[in-house]
């Protein structure tokens, strides 16, 4: 599952158990086709300027808490670049805690092209949303709304008009959406993380007591949302 060029100790697959080792859109990948998988970006750590070291602690803590409550479900943290600091931090900390790499791993790629661009099958993706649940604004939010087309905006609107920090909203993606057709995504889970960027609404002004609490809540809401889809 791991496609990063960094050391593979955390994500080493047991090759003898793998039918395919290569990943690509046409090869069908290893165990991926039937395993419910949530791909999620690191919430709050880019536009919202949350401290990466603190965020990586929280991601690993929450993954560890939920990974065994998800039955067969898997979690994959995604970022765009092989140089992603948050991916390196999380990989190192997950390895230290011996988190099962079949249940949690990291992946470098565009979250809107995981299957077509990277051969990774995910049926659920998370979005680092804004409080209005609106398209645009840059980052992963703009990418997901743009790739999903107007279907995502209308399906989101039907369920909620806004989101509070720390909360998540599960939205079933209409099968007419290009993200469903091309990538096999059935649900998008919007998550609003805490904001440390003074240029954005509800800035916490570096209050990391509040911020860490809200980020923990955000990941709990996200993983509970994924669990609710599985059950
Ligand atoms: N695929 C995978 N990961 C991505 C992609 C992508 N296409 N695009 C960005 N990332 P951010 P935030 C990574 O800024 O900090 C928006 O304007 C990125 O490298 O999208 O929670 C919303 O409207 C980083 O690791 O989210 C909100 O107002 C992670 O996704 C605000 O930004 C999150 O970066 C939310 O800010």
Report the distance separating Cα 179 and Cα 182, nearest Å.
5
Instruction: Check the CA dihedral 99-165-195-204 and report its sign.
Output: negative
ipTM of the complex: 0.99
Q: What is the pTM of this model?
A: 0.90
Asked if 140 contacts 111 with a C-beta cutoff of 8 angstroms, the reply is yes
In the structure, what pLDDT confidence band is assigned to residue 3 with cuts at 50, 70 and 90? low
Whose CA is closest to atom 8 on ligand 1?
A: 140
Closest residue CA from atom 32 of ligand 1: 47
Range of the domain at 166: 26-230
**Is 11 inside any structural domain?**
no
Q: Higher pLDDT residue, 60 or 68?
A: 60
Look at residues 230, 224, 231, 192 and name the one whose alpha carbon lies nearest to residue 211. Answer: 192
- 69 in a domain, yes or no? yes
**48 CA to centre of ligand 1 in angstroms:** 8
Residue 222 lies in a domain: yes
Is the CB–ligand 1 distance for residue 48 below 6 Å? yes
Atom in ligand 1 nearest the alpha carbon of residue 49: 15
Indicate the number of domains in the chain.
Answer: 1
Q: Edge-to-edge strand order for the sheet containing 37-41?
A: 104-108, 74-79, 37-41, 124-128, 187-191, 168-172
Determine, yes or no, domain membership for 15. Answer: no
115 CA → ligand 1 middle, Å: 19
Contact 71, 58 (CB under 8 A): no
13-20 average pLDDT score:
32
Residue 183 lies inside a defined structural domain of this protein: yes
Question: Residue 203's beta-bridge partner residues?
Answer: 195
Q: Which tens digit of pLDDT belongs to each residue from 165-191?
A: 999 999 999 999 999 999 999 999 999
185 found inside a domain: yes
Residue 114 lies in a domain: yes
């Amino acid at each position: 599952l791991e496609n990063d060029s960094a050391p593979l100790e955390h994500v080493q697959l047991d090759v003898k158990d793998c039918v395919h080792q290569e990943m690509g859109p046409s090869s069908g990948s290893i165990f991926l086709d039937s395993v419910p998988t949530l791909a999620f970006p690191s919430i709050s750590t880019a536009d919202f300027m949350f401290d990466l070291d603190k965020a990586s602690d929280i991601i690993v803590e929450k993954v560890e808490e939920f990974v065994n409550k998800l039955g067969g479900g898997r979690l994959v943290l995604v970022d765009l670049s092989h140089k992603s600091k948050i991916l390196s931090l999380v990989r190192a900390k997950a390895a230290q805690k011996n988190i099962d790499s079949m249940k949690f791993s990291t992946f470098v790629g565009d979250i809107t092209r995981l299957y077509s661009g990277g051969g990774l099958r995910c049926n659920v993706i998370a979005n680092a949303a804004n409080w209005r649940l609106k398209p645009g604004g840059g980052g992963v939010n703009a990418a997901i709304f743009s790739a999903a087309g107007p279907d995502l905006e209308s399906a989101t609107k039907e369920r909620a008009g806004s989101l509070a920090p720390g909360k998540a909203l599960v939205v079933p993606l209409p099968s007419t959406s290009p993200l469903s057709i091309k990538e096999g995504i059935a649900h998008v889970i919007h998550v609003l993380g805490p904001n440390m960027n003074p240029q954005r609404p509800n800035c916490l002004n570096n209050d990391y007591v509040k911020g860490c609490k809200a980020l923990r809540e955000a990941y709990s809401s996200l993983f509970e949302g994924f669990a609710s889809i599985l059950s």
